[in-house]
Amino acid sequence: MQLGLMLAPYLAGLALLVILPAIAGFGLAFTEYNALQPPRFAGLANFQEVLRDDVFRIATANSLIYIVLAVPLRLAGAFLTARLLLRPTRGVRIVRAAVYLPTIVPDMAWALVWLWILNPIYGPLNQTLALFGIAGPAWMTDQVSARLAIVLMMSWQIGEGLVVCLASLQNVPRDLLDQAAIDGGSAWDTFRTVTLPAIAPALLLLLFRDTIFSFQANFVPALIVGRGGGPDFATMFLPMYVYTTAFGYLRFGYAAAITCAMYLITGLVLWLQFRAARRWGFGFGHAD
């Protein structure tokens, strides 16, 4: 009884702010609605249009490319940084806080800073490359550099992954590490047979979480840095396309259908990752 009372505010907020809007959005996907007239039932017309929409296919491809590039970079960056900052040396807490800081900076401020960093003429990134005799690209002027710029921008937000990896590495049983050292195992063997299996559940959780995050968190970079889609729709990700369709063209029903398709694609990607993780688990003895 007491547990139910404690959870009641959370459950009420979940129902009002998540579940009911999700149901309303799903219902809106079956209508034609422009916010000026009452919704008109359209059946499956919006979903049929999604299947024929070339821009939707481009936005889907951009989102998948972004996930394939950004998610492994963030996961590897969080893990390697956690390994580097694992020992409680002098000043390590300040460094950890500095690494976490970009995660809590508002997205709008973060995007504006990267507009300056990526400036092809006076931006510090290209100026630093010039010191080594490397000609930096004209960022955001072609499809390749635009996609890479968004990936580079978002790869620095590893704060949450850093915290999880630090906690996981600190909880690896010390006696297992000592036993591996006594048995004469190399650093790589110890990592492969002891550390990695111990932290694998946390890494998989981060993988699934970051995949969901990456599908939804690229809206502000696409809007500010990518200027609403970039050259030839290079930064037109699914959230950006939903926003443009709903508030640019007042096609809220069609935007809701795109949102449903985005959730379906997200679920499919997570399912594929889960299947791959189960096969990966056989190597560590976690699967049946």
What are the residue ranges spanned by the domains of the chain? Answer: 2-282
| Three-class secondary structure of residue 251 per DSSP | coil
d(CA 282, CA 288): 8
CATH class of domain segment(s) 2-282: mainly alpha
Among candidate residues 252, 257, 271, 143, the one with its CA nearest the CA of residue 212:
271
Write out the chain's pLDDT in tens, 288 residues.
677 778 888 888 888 888 898 899 999 999 999 988 899 999 999 999 999 999 999 999 999 999 999 999 999 999 999 989 988 788 888 988 888 888 888 888 888 888 899 888 888 999 999 988 888 888 888 888 888 889 888 888 888 899 999 999 888 888 877 777 777 767 787 887 888 888 888 888 899 999 998 888 888 888 888 777 777 888 899 999 999 999 999 999 999 999 999 999 999 999 998 888 777 664 444 444
**Where would I find the H helices in the chain?**
2-14, 20-28, 45-52, 54-84, 92-104, 107-117, 124-131, 143-154, 159-170, 174-182, 187-190, 196-216, 219-220, 238-243, 252-282
| Three-class secondary structure of residue 122 per DSSP | coil
Largest distance between two CA atoms of the chain: 75
